[in-house]
Amino acid sequence: MSETISQTATESGEDALAQAAESQDEHDQGVGHDSFPRQFARTQRLTLGEPRNVIVSPDGARVVFCRSRGGSDAVNCLWVLDVESGIERLVADPAALLDTGADIDLPDAEKARRERAREGASGVVGFATNADVSVAAFALAGRLFVCGLLSGSARELDVHGPVFDPRPDPTARRLAYVCERSLRIAELSGASTELVGEDDPDVSWGVAEFIAAEEMGRSRGYWWSPDGTQLAVTRVDTSPITRWWIADPAHPERQPAEIAYPAAGTDNALVTLHIFDLDGTRLDVDWDRQTFPYLAGVTWGRRLLLTAQSRDQRDLRVFAVDTTTGEANTVYSDDDPAWVDLVPGVPIELGESLVMTGDRDGAKRLIVDEAAVSPVDVQVRSVVASTADAVLFLANPLDDPLTQSLWSWSAADGAEQLTTDFNVLSASRGGATTVVRSASMQTVGATTRVLDGPSLMRFSEAPLVTPNVTIMRAGSRGIVTAVVLPHGADPAVKLPVLVDPYGGPHAQRVINAQAAYLSAQWFADQGFAVVIADGRGTPGRGSVWDREVHLDLATAALDDQIDALQAAAADTPQLDLTRVGIRGWSFGGYLAALAVLRRPDVFHAAIAGAPVTEWRLYDTHYTERYLGDPNDDAGPYDTSSLLVEAANLIRPLLLIHGLADDNVVAAHTLQLSSALLAAGRPHQVLPLSGISHMTPQEVVAENLLLLQLEFLRTSLAITV
């Protein structure tokens, strides 16, 4: 059974081409002669030219953000919007600031940060400001730049480099930045001194370790005190971590890259926190690191707060640190028999109150001073900001994960929904100014705007496809499912099916935003019916739904894809269930390979991109949250592994993997390929030399779509 809950108001192909032609006049490189795969690759999935990294000044007068000049331009500049006048100003242009005109020769730390953030653009891809958002600092090509956001002038500070993650102190009297493994202080004159560093090559100060950046959402390693006289700084010692080596077989003359990779069941980095005065005086922060080894977050506002988790992630603590003694005392605790989630934006303080989130009564709820204050039927997704008397957060109804809304909570007014008619992707606030980035199924691309005020200009290109999507609730579990069909398809003609999931924790594919369905529509326009389903474990539907994958990442995820597929076929008779392919990347690649190994009666071909084939090879923080420690119980790892199922393959399988991937290393694909070969099971492997997990290179991204299409046509015996 299925229930249709929405249908897009699609435009004609002529309208889409007219939009593309209009966009062609506005950009340096037109799209009129593009194919969609080329456009999708060239524009980095149509994200170039979009405003991003939005910060609002505390007085609400200025909105600071990054944006490139066009839909084909990957170089971001720094801009300021004057809210009252609606006028935008360019305040930092990398082409003018760099003598080479290009952001090249990046420090290794910046390359790693961009990989963790899946950042494919260049130029000003991140910046930090002082407290009143009048000064910004950023790095280009390992060099330090500061910008006056009121004057609109930017200049370079000639400091000892390479420079990584520069941040002005809240009073804008000086800056701090990371240089290789040390933290340095720079004066506005350009003079810099080392605050702390060590010669030990395994020790780094002021940076986030791999799993903090990849899995915890903590991308930084130092924090200024509000008065700018002290810093809280992490010390990361990677010596306990097993070393792995990533070689480039296409260049045997190059040495393999050494990475410290904390695989499930092995040792993590040793991470400690320390408070420094500007003269280098050091105070060690003392919390129960034996019980809570994961430093998940640090904030320094009214108090210095640190968030820490136990190794099994079933216990979470927020500690308030006495900055004169280093003693850390618990101010909030939470526990769960499966795991406690890390939610973006918390902890945050609202006056004297501490704001957190927690699973209560089946939903992720806003917690203020230990009391759940958000509605019980609403799932809190992130906390955005706090003002003098209110906290802003993003949430969706438990029965409708498609659309996030912006909410506010205050002691005086309780919880209030501030937006209703569009899907809020992100938001920020300063003073009375709230900026939201939103999308819908009726509009092309995302819009970034001041609520009740001006919109930020966007220069992204109009896509060369227009999604034709029906969204339904499929099966007895009401799985949110999108069916994407070719425009003008004959209802009497059966269509081969492409199942296109992610299907795992943290990632949601079916949302109210046209951009979510662009590549799916391109496949549909090649003659497929595309089915996308968010099954158990995907976000937005409450605590029980999230935890259905605990100790088994395979069964529920695959069962729900099958249920959604069969319900979609019952609702849309055009779907030909005798010709079903499935494709995915990362967890989606794991799910695609799992599908043909376990259920060849349902799935007839699979494309598995960068798949996790053996969970013992994936990192501690992610994997142990769901499967536990393999040293304590190997059962969940055996149940979820693809290697033990290799002999079951009877369908075409294409494995794709970047050989430079340091997240899901190529050993995953190579070990599965070896197991398949040992079992005498034919399959195909496409190695991508020099390519990481995010495949940002234009020629790679374009041709991957074309190669996948050809594989599906051949494997499913589709004639064109």
Do residue 692 and residue 609 come from a single domain? Answer: yes
- Report CA torsion sign: 29, 32, 34, 36: positive
User: What is d(CA 299, CA 447) in angstroms, rounded to the nearest whole number?
Assistant: 30
Amino acid 39: pLDDT:
94
506-520 exposure pattern, b = at least 16 Cβ within 10 A, e = fewer: eebbbbbbbbbbbbb
Minimal CA–CA distance to 518: which of 46, 26, 7?
Answer: 46
Residue 719's pLDDT is what?
81
Would you say residue 8 has pLDDT above 70?
A: no
Q: Quote the pLDDT of residue 506.
A: 87
Per-residue pLDDT, 519: 97
Half-sphere exposure of 420 (CA within 13 A, CB side): 2
Residue 134 belongs to a domain: yes
* Cβ neighbours around 15 below 10 Å, total: 12
Same domain, residue pair 149 and 98:
yes
Digit-coded pLDDT (tens) for 347-378: 999 999 999 999 999 999 999 999 999 999 99
pLDDT band at 32 (very low <50, low <70, confident <90, very high): very low
Tell me whether residue 412 is in a domain: no
| Angle at 674 (CA atoms; ends 669, 676), nearest 5 degrees | 95
Q: Tell which residue, 281, 266, 197, has the closest CA to residue 235.
A: 197
| 630 φ/ψ angles, rounded to the nearest 5 degrees | -65, -20
Helices (H), 572-666: 587-598, 620-627, 635-640
Q: Kind of pairing, strands 164-168 and 257-260?
A: unpaired
184 beta partners: 177, 194
Q: What is the pLDDT of residue 118?
A: 86
Paired tokens of 229:
């006289």
Strand partners, 434: 429
Same domain as 135, residue 216: no
Under 8 Å between Cβ of 481 and 539: no
Q: What residues contact 56, with CB distance under 8 A and at least 6 apart?
A: 62, 63, 64, 133, 428, 429, 430, 431, 433, 434, 435
Residue 102 banded pLDDT, cuts 50, 70, 90 = low
Instruction: Check whether residue 68 and residue 213 sit in a common domain.
Output: no
189 CB-near residues (< 8 Å, 6+ apart) = none
Judge whether 376 lies within some domain. Answer: no
For residue 24, pLDDT over 70 is answered with no
Could you give the angle at which helices 698-715 and 518-525 cross, rounded to 10 degrees?
40
Which uninterrupted H or E stretch holds 79? strand 75-82
pLDDT tier for residue 388 given thresholds of 50, 70 and 90: confident
pLDDT, residue 34, reads: 78
Q: Given 196, 224, 245, which residue is the final one in a domain?
A: 196
Alpha carbons 428 and 580: distance in angstroms, whole number: 43
Task: State whether 663 and 651 are in the same domain.
Answer: yes
Which residue type, as a one-letter code, is found at position 507?
A
Could you tell me the CATH number of the domain that includes residue 568? 3.40.50.1820
Among candidate residues 703, 701, 705, the one with its CA nearest the CA of residue 524? 705
Closest CA to 292 of 243, 233, 342: 342
Q: What percent of the chain has pLDDT over 90?
A: 89
| Contact by Cβ (8 Å): 501, 509 | yes
Predicted pLDDT of residue 33 = 65
Domain of residue 67: give its range: 51-196
Nearest residue to 529 (alpha-carbon basis) of 504, 564, 500, 507: 500
Please give the span between the terminal C-alpha atoms of the chain, in angstroms, as a whole number. Answer: 33
**Coil, strand, or helix at residue 234?**
strand
DSSP labels, 124-160: S---EE-TTS-EEEEEETTEEEEEETTTTEEEEE--S
pLDDT of residue 29: 40
Quick check: is 84 in a domain? yes
In angstroms, rounded to a whole number, what is the distance separating the alpha carbons of residues 570 and 33? Answer: 39
Mean pLDDT score across all residues of the chain: 93
Does any domain span residue 612? yes
Tens-place pLDDT, residues 657-715: 999 999 999 999 999 999 999 999 999 999 999 999 987 678 888 999 999 999 999 99
Per-residue confidence (pLDDT) for residue 647, from 0 to 100: 98
Q: How far apart are CA 296 and CA 318, in angstroms?
A: 10
What DSSP designation does 430 have? E
In terms of Cβ atoms closer than 10 Å to its own Cβ (0-12, 13-18, 19+), residue 9 is exposed
Q: Does a structural domain hold residue 358?
A: no
User: Does 60 lie in the same domain as 207?
Assistant: no
Q: What is the pLDDT of residue 4?
A: 45
128 shares its domain with 264 = no
Q: Per-residue confidence at 20, pLDDT binned at 50, 70, 90? A: very low
570 and 555 inside one domain: yes
| CATH number of the domain that residue 144 is part of | 2.120.10.30
Q: Is the pLDDT of residue 397 over 60?
A: yes
Ramachandran category for residue 231: left, alpha or beta (phi over 0 → left; psi -120 to 50 → alpha): beta
- Of the candidates 146, 139, 129, the residue with the CA atom closest to the CA atom of residue 162: 139
Residue burial 298-312, b: 16+ Cβ < 10 Å; e: rest: bbbeebbbbbbbbbe
Please list, in sequence order, all residues whose beta carbon lies within 8 angstroms of the beta carbon of residue 262, skipping any fewer than 6 positions away: 210, 211, 241, 242, 268, 269, 619, 620, 621
pLDDT per residue as tens digits for the range 409-427? 999 999 999 999 899 999 9
- Looking at the fold, whether 662 and 607 belong to one and the same domain comes out as yes
**Do residue 82 and residue 129 come from a single domain?**
yes
Angle, to 10 degrees, between the axis of helix 587-598 and the axis of helix 555-571?
80
Query: What pLDDT does residue 522 have?
Result: 98
Measure the CA dihedral 584/588/589/592, to 10°: -80
CB 676 within 8 A of CB 649: yes
Asked if residue 155 lies in contact with residue 92, where contact means CB atoms within 8 angstroms, the answer is: no
Choosing from 312, 342, 372, the residue where a domain stops is: 342
Residue type present at position 165: D
Per the domain annotation, does 183 fall within a domain? yes
pLDDT digits (tens, 9 = 90+) for 486-543: 999 899 999 999 999 999 998 999 999 999 999 999 999 999 999 999 999 999 999 9
What distances in angstroms separate CA 531 from CA 374, 449, 569, one per listed residue?
34, 32, 10
> pLDDT, tens digit, for every residue of 626-660?
999 999 999 999 999 999 999 999 999 999 999 99
- Among 299, 316, 342, give the residue marking a domain's end: 342
Neighbours of 418 (CB within 10 A): 14
How far from chain centre, in Å, is Cα 32? 31
Q: What are phi and psi of 566, to 5 degrees?
A: -70, -40
pLDDT at 287 (0 to 100): 98
Statement to judge: residues 148 and 215 lie in one domain: no
- Residue-wise pLDDT for 547-606, tens only, equals 999 999 999 999 999 999 999 999 999 999 999 999 999 999 999 999 999 999 999 999
674 falls within a domain: yes
Assess contact for 617 and 583: CB atoms under 8 A.
Answer: no
* Counts for the chain of helices (H) and strands (E), in that order: 13, 44
Looking up tokens 């003392």 gives 286
Give 9's pLDDT tier (boundaries 50, 70, 90): very low
Stretch 430-444: mean pLDDT: 95
**What does the pLDDT read at residue 359?**
96
Q: Does residue 14 surpass a pLDDT of 50?
A: no
Is 212 in the same domain as 182?
no
pLDDT for res 697: 75
- How many folded domains does the chain comprise? 3
